């Protein structure tokens, strides 16, 4: 723990490209307990398994747990130094708790030049927050589904689906959902998704 004092923000992610920094947290630990994607989770494979990557994600979570404000003020400081137009939360991991979401909102309000994107399966936290508050326009929270694991979505947030090429699972994907092209820095569709719009990913 001691050797890590600063959060690790990733840049040059293969899918996101060099113009979209992201912050990651350990998958499973921060994911919902009954997440149906645990078995085939992409964040539990490939480069996410490198010990340096695992350590940096655990380090991020440790810093958040010790000081939520320090974690987010480092994200804010990073984006004030280099005002990237886009930022992605959690290629791995998920919204930790309500305070985390509140600080995501505060960060978006401070870093107005940046559009933030977060896919989540922590639906209940977001739904509860939205009963009393609105999200800033530059923070797009997108509910992520998995086959028939579909959230309650009373606020009509945009959604993602996974295409399994199995009719019993794919029947939930809306007709007008758009296929992910796989290269965010040439696309940015998810940062601009509006209420009731959706994207689908091909399962790999």
Which spans of this chain sit near ligand SF4 (rule: CB under 6 A)? 180-184, 187-190, 199
CB of 90 to ligand SF4, least distance (A): 13
CB of 116 to ligand SF4, least distance (A): 13
CB of 163 to ligand SF4, least distance (A): 13
Q: Of 139 and 199, which CB lies nearer to ligand SF4 in the complex structure?
A: 199
Q: Of 63 and 139, which CB lies nearer to ligand SF4 in the complex structure?
A: 139
- Bridge-based pairing of strands 86-89 and 22-23 is parallel
Q: Report CA dihedral (130, 126, 159, 186) to the nearest 10 degrees.
A: 100
Q: Of 37 and 184, which CB lies nearer to ligand SF4 in the complex structure?
A: 184
Q: How far apart are CA 203 and CA 90, in angstroms?
A: 18
Q: Max Cα separation, the chain?
A: 51
CB of 59 to ligand SF4, least distance (A): 26
CB of 63 to ligand SF4, least distance (A): 27
Q: Of 80 and 181, which CB lies nearer to ligand SF4 in the complex structure?
A: 181
Q: Of 102 and 170, which CB lies nearer to ligand SF4 in the complex structure?
A: 170
3-state class (DSSP) for residue 50: coil
> Which of the 8 DSSP states describes residue 173?
S
The residues, any chain, with a CB within 8 Å of residue 8's CB and separated by 6 or more, are 23, 24, 56, 57, 59, 60
The residues, any chain, with a CB within 8 Å of residue 26's CB and separated by 6 or more, are 54, 57, 58, 61, 92, 93
């Amino acid at each position: 723990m001691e050797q890590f004092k600063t959060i690790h923000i990733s840049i040059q992610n293969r899918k996101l490209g060099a113009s979209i920094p992201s912050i990651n947290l350990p998958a499973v630990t921060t994911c919902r307990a009954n997440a149906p994607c645990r078995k085939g989770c992409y964040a539990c494979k490939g480069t996410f398994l490198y010990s340096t990557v695992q350590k940096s994600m655990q380090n991020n979570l440790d810093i958040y747990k010790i000081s939520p404000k320090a974690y987010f003020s480092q994200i804010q400081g990073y984006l004030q130094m280099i005002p990237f137009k886009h930022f992605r939360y959690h290629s791995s991991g998920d919204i930790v708790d309500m305070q985390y979401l509140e600080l995501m909102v505060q960060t978006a309000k401070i870093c107005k030049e940046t559009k933030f994107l977060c896919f989540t399966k922590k639906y209940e936290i977001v739904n509860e927050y939205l009963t009393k508050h609105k999200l800033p326009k530059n923070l797009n929270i997108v509910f992520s589904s998995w086959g028939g694991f579909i959230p309650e979505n009373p606020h009509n947030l945009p959604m993602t689906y996974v295409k399994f090429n199995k009719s019993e699972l794919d029947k939930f994907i809306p007709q007008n959902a758009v296929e992910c092209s796989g290269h965010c820095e040439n696309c940015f569709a998810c940062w601009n998704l509006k209420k009731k719009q959706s994207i689908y990913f091909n399962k790999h």
